[in-house]
Each structure stands twice: as C-alpha cells, then as structure tokens.
C-alpha cells in the first residue's frame, strides 16, 4: 500500500464512521480492491462480495442459484446476507451492470426498503416488521462499499456515478505518485535493480500522461506495472507481455515503442535504430570483440 492509498483510507474511515455508504471510482488497475481489502481488514469487519456484469438482473442481484442433489435451489444473494447479518457488502464492477439494475440499490440506500424477486421485502424499521410476513429487517451495521471504473472508453461502463453518486460518499482513486509506485515495485521485486524499476516508473508515467492528453486510449495503470515479472529473459521481453495486445495496432505500436525507447527500454527496436559508437579513447574494459559489435543495440521486435 502506498501513502496515497493510506490517505484515501483515512478519508473513507471518516465517512464510514458517520454511517455513509462508500463509492470508490477510478481507472481499472489503480488498486481499488487492495484498498477495500486492507480497509476492512483493519476494521476487522466481515464482508459479502458481489461482482456485477452486463448480464446481471434484478433477480440475480437478490437471489443466487445453486445445485443440490441435482436440483436447482435459489439462495439469498450476498446482498441479502449482508442485510440480514450486518456485514459489509462489497459490490465490484458496479459500472458494468445495466443502470436499471443498479438503481435498485438507490431505493435500498435512501429509504431502507427493497422488494426481492421472490416477493420478500427488506425494511429498515423493526417496528414495521411486526405482524408482517416475508419481511427482512435490515441490520443496523449493514453498509455498502461500491467499486466502479470511470465511465466511457476504454472501460465501456455505465455512468454509475452520474446515476447513483449522490447517495454515496465518493472517493476518487488514482495511480500512486512516482516515488510511491517505485517503493511498491521494490516490494514486489526486491531483487530487481533500482535502475530497472525507475525506467518502468518513468515510462508508465509518460504513458499515463499521453492517455490524459488523448494520444493513446488505454491508461496503463499500476496493475500493468506490477504484472510485469522479472525472469532471466530481460526487461524488454517481460514488458512485451503487457503491450502485445496494442502491438496489433500499427500506430499505437509506434507510439508505445517511442515512449519506451525514450526511457531506455529497448523493445521493438529495428535495425535502423542501431547506432554505432564514435571512436574515442578505450574505456579500459578488456573485450576481444570489436568496438562496433560491443556498441550495437539489441534489436528486440515487439
């Protein structure tokens, strides 16, 4: 966890203690799930997890099918379980579900009531539940913690913040600052030279700036940097694992190669990129190879 993430958790705690439901909005891969995991771990609060997608319906939001002895049974979804037991409901990828489905949550948050697909009703006032069958009383400790990507390209999600942002306490999550990201990478790869990590941080920082300016479409996040492994085949080969998809677009490939070359990552080098060293005094290193062979850059195709 970086210092920037710690500051986000401090702000989350203030709103959480006030009884607010929380919404974390940020690009894919900036560490929203990591923040939630650490936040609930420090609070020692149990949670229920619910991941939404484009096929999520109102029924799947409240009922969860399972197979027992060859028979399909419908059980309470994580949402209903969290309401009953007073757990924290973590809703991931909230922007992927249709807006008409997620708007069901608005009634639950604002009025404390919700009608389930099987006819049961969630209510917040225990007095109203007396003598009324098929009612579920909302536990006073129930809380929602929602994660969503920003709307629009390239994530192609719905504008969850625009539809329901007014009922949540919203917190924006961004990539860590360069020094914080460097410290994080050192934890993932303690044996990797600092110079290599600094090249990665500088290169990805420039790629994110280019995404903000609209030069490239995908905002490469901390997740892409962390996913880069460091085996024996060298930096250029492992970086290629992250950028292989964009290499199919010729224009995008040229932009990425230029940015990576600028920071000393020789990925996608062409024979025309090989430059011979100028003649000068001997560098004192004994090598049987001619100087032109020692000075040539390695050409690694993307």
Which phi and psi (to 5°) does residue 165 adopt? -65, -25
**In this structure, are residues 53 and 60 in contact, taking their beta carbons and an 8 Å threshold?**
no
The two structure tokens encoding residue 81: 């379980």
* pLDDT tens digits, one per residue of 148-193: 988 766 677 788 888 888 899 999 998 888 888 888 888 877 888 8
Rounded Cα distance between 296 and 289, Å, is: 12
Residue 249 — pLDDT band, cuts 50, 70, 90?
A: low
What mean pLDDT is predicted for residues 200-207? 83
Q: Does 286 score more than 50 pLDDT?
A: no
Sketch out the chain's domains with CATH numbers.
3-172 (3.40.50.300), 178-295 (no CATH)
Crossing angle, helix 250-262 and helix 194-213, to 10 degrees?
Answer: 140
Please give the structure tokens belonging to residue 170.
């919203």
> How many other CB atoms are there within 10 angstroms of residue 255's CB atom?
16
Q: Given this model, what pLDDT does residue 221 score?
A: 80
Record the pTM: 0.72
Residue 244 predicted with pLDDT over 70: no
Residues 88-147 have pLDDT tens digits of: 999 999 888 888 888 888 888 888 888 887 888 999 888 887 778 889 999 999 999 999
Residues whose CB is less than 8 angstroms from the CB of residue 115 and which lie 6 or more positions away in sequence, other chains included: 121, 122
Over 50: is that where the pLDDT of 292 sits? no
User: 22-25 and 143-148: which strand pairing?
Assistant: parallel
pLDDT given for residue 28 in this prediction: 82
Neighbour-count burial for 38-63, b at 16+ CB within 10 Å, e otherwise = ebbeeeeeebbebebeeebebebbbb
């Amino acid at each position: 966890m970086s210092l920037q993430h710690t500051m986000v958790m401090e702000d989350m705690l203030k709103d959480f203690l006030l009884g607010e439901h929380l919404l974390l909005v940020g690009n894919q891969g900036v560490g929203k799930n990591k923040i939630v995991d650490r936040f609930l771990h420090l609070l020692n609060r149990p949670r229920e997890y619910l991941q939404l997608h484009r096929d999520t319906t109102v029924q799947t939001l409240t009922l969860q099918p399972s197979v027992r002895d060859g028979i399909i049974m419908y059980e309470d979804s994580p949402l209903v379980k969290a309401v009953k037991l007073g757990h924290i409901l973590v809703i991931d990828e909230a922007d992927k579900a249709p807006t008409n489905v997620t708007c069901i949550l608005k009634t639950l948050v604002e009025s404390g009531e919700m009608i389930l697909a099987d006819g049961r009703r969630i209510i917040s006032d225990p007095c109203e539940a007396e003598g009324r069958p098929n009612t579920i009383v909302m536990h006073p400790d129930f809380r929602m913690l929602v994660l969503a990507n920003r709307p629009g390209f390239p994530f192609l999600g719905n504008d969850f913040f625009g539809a329901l942002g007014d009922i949540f306490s919203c917190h924006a999550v961004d990539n860590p600052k360069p020094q914080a990201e460097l410290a994080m990478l050192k934890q993932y790869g303690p044996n990797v030279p600092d110079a290599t990590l600094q090249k990665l941080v500088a290169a990805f920082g420039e790629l994110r700036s280019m995404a903000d300016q609209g030069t490239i479409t995908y905002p490469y996040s901390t997740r892409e940097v962390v996913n880069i492994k460091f085996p024996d085949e060298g930096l250029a080969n492992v970086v290629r694992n992250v950028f292989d998809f964009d290499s199919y677009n010729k224009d995008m490939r040229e932009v990425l190669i230029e940015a990576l070359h600028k920071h000393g990552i020789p990925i996608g080098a062409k024979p025309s990129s090989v430059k011979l060293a100028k003649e000068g005094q001997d560098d004192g290193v004994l090598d049987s190879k001619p100087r032109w062979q020692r000075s040539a850059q390695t050409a690694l195709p993307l």
